Amino acid sequence: MSKSPRLTKYGVPFPARNQMVTLKQLSPLPAGWSSLAAAFVMQVRRTPDKLFATDTLKGRITFSDALLRSCVMARFLSRKVKGHKAIGVLVPPSVGATIANFAATLLGKWTVNLNYAATADIVNNAAKQCEIKVILTSKQVVEKLGAPLDAEVIYLEDLLTAITKADKAWGWAISRLPLPLMRAFLPGLRSKLSDIATVMFTSGSTGDPKGVLLTNGNILSNIHQINSHAKLEERDSVVGILPFFHSFGFTVTLWTMATLGRGAAYHISPLNPREVGKLLEKEKPTLMACTPTLMRSYLARCTREQFSSLRWLLLGSEKLDPALAEEIKAKLGVEPVEGFGCTELAPVVAANSPEEVLTPDGRRVHGNKLGSVGQPVAGTAIAIVDIDTHEVLPFGSGKEGLIFVAGPQVMQGYLNRKAETDEVLDGDIYCTGDVGYIDADGFLFIVDRLDEFSKIGGEMVPNKKVAAKLREAAGVSEAQLLVTNVKDPARGERLIVLYTQLPMTPQELISVLSKDASIPKLWLPKAGDCYKVDAFPVNPTGKLDLKGVKKLAKELSA
């Protein structure tokens, strides 16, 4: 008797591994990439005098500086974390944050970057889950939290006096040893690809943050995939504005640069467009990643000259409105490319490219297809499963279904949450919860998310499609109107419309929409459930905060 396929949290079965398609094969990892620590040290040996990182706090270090400071800090920390498996880092993107991450990794500890924009309760909860006893942070961050941390706090500002001459001498000596000899003193250099390197907490935009277990192999594989997909050049450098508690900030703007010998220019917050513009103008990076929401503020406050050095502007975390893409290209002179990823996938799954790419049948096409999130990165297997029939759809058919991803970047699971892990993970097959399709050119399109459906009267209503129809009827943009839901005692849930601007009354808008024959009556919100707001909630990375949106809708409709 054949074994029944396991079901996901959505009631859709996982596909078999042999039903998944890999568009491009991934070559083996570079020799010596046995751990993040080893890959970093190898890169330092290749480019010791190359500038690694700068920040707006006046920090500036070469690759050899980074290794020396990390060894010194590792020696100091080793006395504090003996017997502990994790070290917390509560620091915005900066030179200091990179050193804290490198030091923890050289010690072979789980590096856990905590959300400094969250409440103290959330930070303490994450620290408790990871059994963190020591947190590296700054006095300014702790002051903003406004509540004590449930761990020993080490302030980066105090390290100059806390670190001893013996620590400095030890760090200096160890940083100059050949890699094989360094392994005897730094446990992180003895770590294996299968060892956990970090716990990344999900944003919690649709629920409680979960700790995602990522190995050295997960992150190094994703770095290798990114390098293969983007074809990074020796001259490339990144502007690092995404927090290291964000998976893209951690993998791309920190570790990809550190292990591939590229530079980074960091700023403590992406929410300050004028400072980001000045950083772009001064350091002239070639790579930048952020969200469409952030780009709207940069469009209003930055100049074309400040963006002139960029050759890759990757936007993710939200759907990129084609109109916004055209506006960015026209005003800032750079063609934005949309990508797709999630914390559970280390994070990159797919991305558009400003260069030509090959289709499955060998044709060359422009690599940036508006509306898509690009082709999957090498080594990534994809399956699209019909939500109703549970059929695995033919690759490139253009038919919509639930997206499954497999590959070397797939997480090991959620920390201490086996039941939730089993709902989304079967071996290395991950259920994204996103609905989409792949076209004949191998480009992936995301059209909805099952967590963003409303169940009304037993029927599934797609919030995003309703919002798109409303915006089309009103002639407004994605930044001006969205749809969410709240509980409803009679029908299970009901739709709530939030808007910042409308050229008509809500009654008129719903009346216009009701005349559209393609809209089921179940999809029609009530005019009384439309609310004007000053702005939509966003999280520290500039991504729309879906949890905050739901909370706002609940308060307004109460």
Q: What's the CATH number where 188 sits?
A: 3.40.50.12780
160/92 same-domain check: yes
Whole-number pLDDT of residue 373: 97
Is 428 contained in some domain?
yes
CATH of the domain at 424: 2.30.38.10
- Domain check: are 438 and 481 in the same one? no
Mean pLDDT by 10 residues, the chain (558 residues): 79 96 98 98 98 93 98 98 97 97 98 93 95 97 93 95 97 97 98 98 71 98 97 96 95 98 96 95 96 92 97 90 93 96 97 96 96 97 95 96 98 97 97 96 92 77 88 92 90 92 94 88 92 89 79 92
The pLDDT assigned to 319 comes to: 85
Q: What is the CATH number of the domain that holds 472?
A: 3.30.300.30
Question: Three-state secondary structure along 272-320?
Answer: CHHHHHHHHHHHCCCEEEECHHHHHHHHHHCCCCCCCCCCEEEECCCCC
Domain count, the chain: 3
CB 130 within 8 A of CB 86: yes
Both 143 and 183 in one domain: the answer is yes
| 243 shares a domain with 98 | yes
Nearest to 281 by CA among 309, 315, 323, 246: 309
Residues 428 and 529 reside in one and the same domain: no
In this prediction, residue 379 carries a pLDDT of: 98
Q: How far apart are CA 388 and CA 190, in angstroms?
A: 48
Question: Does residue 214 sit within a domain?
Answer: yes
Please tell me the predicted confidence (pLDDT) of residue 361: 95
Q: 367 and 252 in one domain?
A: no
Neighbours of 323 (CB within 10 A): 11
Q: Is residue 346 part of a domain?
A: no
Task: Show which of 403, 421, 448 is a domain's final residue.
Answer: 448
Put simply, whether the predicted model's pTM sits higher than 0.85 gets the answer: yes
- Asked, for residue 8, whether it belongs to a domain, the answer is no
Other Cβ atoms within 10 Å of 426 Cβ, number? 21
Domain co-membership, 68 together with 171: yes
Evaluate whether residue 288 is within a structural domain. no
Residues 466, 441 share a domain = no
Q: How confident is the model at residue 117, as a pLDDT?
A: 87
Q: Is residue 303 one of the residues assigned to a domain? A: no
pLDDT at position 204, please?
59
At position 224, the amino acid (one-letter code) is H
| Residue 519 belongs to domain spanning | 457-557
Q: Which residue carries 């070559």 as its tokens? A: 27
pLDDT at 207: 55
CA 37/CA 353 separation, integer angstroms: 29
- Give the end of a domain, one of 252, 269, 286: 269
Say yes or no: 111 and 234 in one domain: yes
State residue 243's pLDDT score: 94
Of 269, 296, 320, which residue is a domain's last?
269
Q: What is the pLDDT of residue 355?
A: 92
- Nearest-angstrom CA–CA distance, 460 and 376: 28
